[in-house]
Structure 1
Amino acid sequence: MKTCLIVDDSRVVRKFSRRSLEALGFAVSEACDGREALERCEEAMPDLILLDWNMPVMTGIEFIRLLRQGGHANQPKVVFCTTENDVAHIRTAMDAGADEYVMKPFDHDTLHMKLQLVGVA
């Protein structure tokens, strides 16, 4: 079974994403900020990370930079899920190591399509 870590400070977004991912057969865990997400990754690296940009403690962009610099052999696919939709933010996310980008709000079908694009669905 593939695993996914949802990293978002919004409980509502985590709940919606969890339902969509579980319907696609993922085992899901959650983190409410980048620091907590790094701790979860140290415990067990997921196959996929859904990552919010704007969070307290550690932002999504800070998290992905640390994750990609960590030198882990089994790097997860990372899909940014955020309201930041301008070209500069998207380029920054991709340059930092994101595999795909999905705009909030998104629905189950859009998420599924993005996961197919990165090869995890």
Structure 2
Amino acid sequence: MTCAQDKTRILTVDDSPSMRALLKHALTAEGFHVDQADDGVSALDWLKENECDVVITDINMPRMDGFGLIEHLRKGAIHENRPILVLTTEASEEKKAQARRAGATGWIVKPFDAQKLAAAVRRVTH
């Protein structure tokens, strides 16, 4: 089952234009609505004016990295329960533990499988 009927809205946060394009294509094909930001600061600006069901963020980005974004979102009551998935090339247990402590809901290592990513989104939003 896809979420095409409810159009789950995802904010992807990644500084790589090619990764943003790949995420948009893969997640749109799975029936999701995808918005994008190129770093944590841009994501926070976007979230001031918009809503989403889940955030998918990279870790290593300029201006504000994924850890900073997660911590900032978890401080505000409006975002404290929003699912946040980390999608990164980082695979160390230390980084995963840091993300969990910051408040990440899940961790996916790049390169990603589109169907597994979609399944992870469905798991945290339904």
**Map of 1:85 onto structure 2:** 91
Choose from 44, 55, 59 the match for 1:49: 55
Q: TM-score, normalized by length of structure 2?
A: 0.88
**Map of 2:125 onto structure 1:** 119
**Map of 2:67 onto structure 1:** 61
Q: What does the per-residue CA deviation read over 1:15-70, in whole Å, with 9 as the maximum and x for residues that have no partner?
A: 11111111222211110000000011111121011100000010010011001101
**Map of 1:5 onto structure 2:** 11
Aligned residues: 120
Deviates further, 51-60 or 16-25: 16-25
Distance 2:83 2:55 in 1: 6
Q: TM-score, normalized by length of structure 1?
A: 0.91
State the Cα RMSD in Å: 1.5
Distance 1:107 1:69 in 2: 31
Distance 1:90 1:41 in 2: 24
Give SS of 2:56's match: strand
Q: Which runs of 4+ in 1 moved over 3 A?
A: none
Alpha-carbon distance, 1:76 to partner: 2.2
Alpha-carbon distance, 1:110 to partner: 2.2
Q: What does the per-residue CA deviation read over 1:58-87, in whole Å, with 9 as the maximum and x for residues that have no partner?
A: 001001100110111674211100011111
Give SS of 1:118's match: helix
**Map of 1:37 onto structure 2:** 43
Matching residue's letter, 2:31: G
